[in-house]
Structure 1
């Protein structure tokens, strides 16, 4: 009975969370589509995306812990560098980081029905396997920073295979970009997102608190390209320092069936030759 109630609870909460994610988007979709078509309107679309994120995260009902190690530099664009563990990373960043952001996401996001073309027009998409695409994305990011807007980059390039435990290898782009433009890097740790919505086949949602830490900005003024590896390692270590051991792993799939115990293998029959060698009792 307990497993059945837990299973029903998981299904009901998944339905609730999905409804509050999808419904506001569908209601505002015509407006989002219209705002996406002119660059001068993209600021307002980002504000709408922020409101959307605030609404559905509030309606999901879980507590969100926000830690800011130090106030962000006023009027200073930054490169926010975050670990990547879940599909809700972007909404949590929109909720937490103020201002008109640009965000770099994988090219496949632009292929998501309805929302994808909007994302592709308003934010930066990149094909990590294409040098041309990576170069174009860095040019867009640099122009964004020069215009006074901050940029969010996931240096792992994709969701970690071991979220909450170990990050994937960081790419160099975010650090070379920050050094080239002289803007600070702000490491961002999101240690619990994968406990709410892990990257698994199908849709798996679990009620779980969320947390995000904006670490102290790392200045890059005076650094050169030769300093990029050390800057990358320093940023990696800062992000990893806010991981939480209890958050390791992803939630198991729910099932109303009782797990079947594995049969105990029968003991092998004694080898006659070995029996003959055994000493007499």
Structure 2
């Protein structure tokens, strides 16, 4: 039966790359100007929507509250699968920047797009972390949202239990700019891509109500981390089927 997983994985990779390559010329041109970056971002959203449609994998997104597409938020999601990144463009309708590993820049073409459109961070170097945090705060001040995986990567050894403690970055930048934090629960991605092979599964996502940070200070970081963790983890525990 494993042969079917290989065939389906090949089918998914084919469409993932083909759609990206077809859209890349537009993305490349848009990335040459700061004011055109929303166009590149929109192309990525198109890429994600077409990809999941063509591989026959429907995504059901439940929003607990109505979000303002023109408002800046800090989005925080659990991270168990490489599929999480591709899904975010489908789930989040705001113009946002990922804060992700700097190693992504080494991937041909995709690395160029990521470096130009998003925020890279090398978590092993303090200088890189500070620079990434500064860029994120600047993006929030300009009205652009930030998407971050507060676990700092795919580290859980007991999925769907998240790794604690969360990194401070998401919560520090949200407080600095007094913008809401939006927890996101990705319920099924690890079932689709637990390793290098992809299997079909319905995908469910819950975008939780924003957590306000107005009036909060750095003294509230730990409480915010716990609140976001408990919101996502309780949801994951209730949807283990």
Alignment of 1:257-272 (within 5 A): none
**1:17 Cα deviation (Å)?**
1.0
Residue by residue, what CA displacement relative to the aligned partner does 1:14-49 show, whole Å, maximum 9, x if unpaired? 121111101111222233223223222211100001
8 Å contact 2:27–2:39 — kept in the other structure?
no
> In the aligned structure 1, how far is the partner of 2:47 from the partner of 2:235?
27
**1:134 Cα deviation (Å)?**
0.7
Q: Which of the two has higher C-alpha Rg?
A: 1
**1:110 Cα deviation (Å)?**
1.2
Structure 1: stretches of 5+ with no match in the other structure: 1-5, 249-281
**1:220 Cα deviation (Å)?**
0.5
- Identify which range, 111-120 or 65-74, moves more after superposition: 65-74
**1:174 Cα deviation (Å)?**
0.7
Structural RMSD (CA): 1.7
> In the aligned structure 2, how far is the partner of 1:36 from the partner of 1:242?
37
Matched residue, 1:154? 149
> In the aligned structure 2, how far is the partner of 1:73 from the partner of 1:28?
27
Flag as ranges the 4+ runs of structure 1 deviating above 6 A.
none
> In the aligned structure 1, how far is the partner of 2:206 from the partner of 2:120?
25
8 Å contact 2:52–2:58 — kept in the other structure?
no
Matched residue, 2:77? 82
Residue by residue, what CA displacement relative to the aligned partner does 1:166-198 show, whole Å, maximum 9, x if unpaired? 112210111111111100000011021111112
Query: Are 1:214 and 2:201 an aligned pair?
Result: no
Query: Are 1:120 and 2:99 an aligned pair?
Result: no
> In the aligned structure 1, how far is the partner of 2:60 from the partner of 2:189?
12
Structure 2: stretches of 5+ with no match in the other structure: none
Query: 210, 216, 224: which is aligned to 1:223?
Result: 216
Query: 3, 8, 29: which is aligned to 2:3?
Result: 8
| TM-score, normalised relative to structure 2 | 0.94
Matched residue, 2:40? 45
Residue by residue, what CA displacement relative to the aligned partner does 1:219-264 show, whole Å, maximum 9, x if unpaired? 000111101101101111101111147759xxxxxxxxxxxxxxxx
8 Å contact 1:164–1:191 — kept in the other structure?
no
| TM-score, normalised relative to structure 1 | 0.81
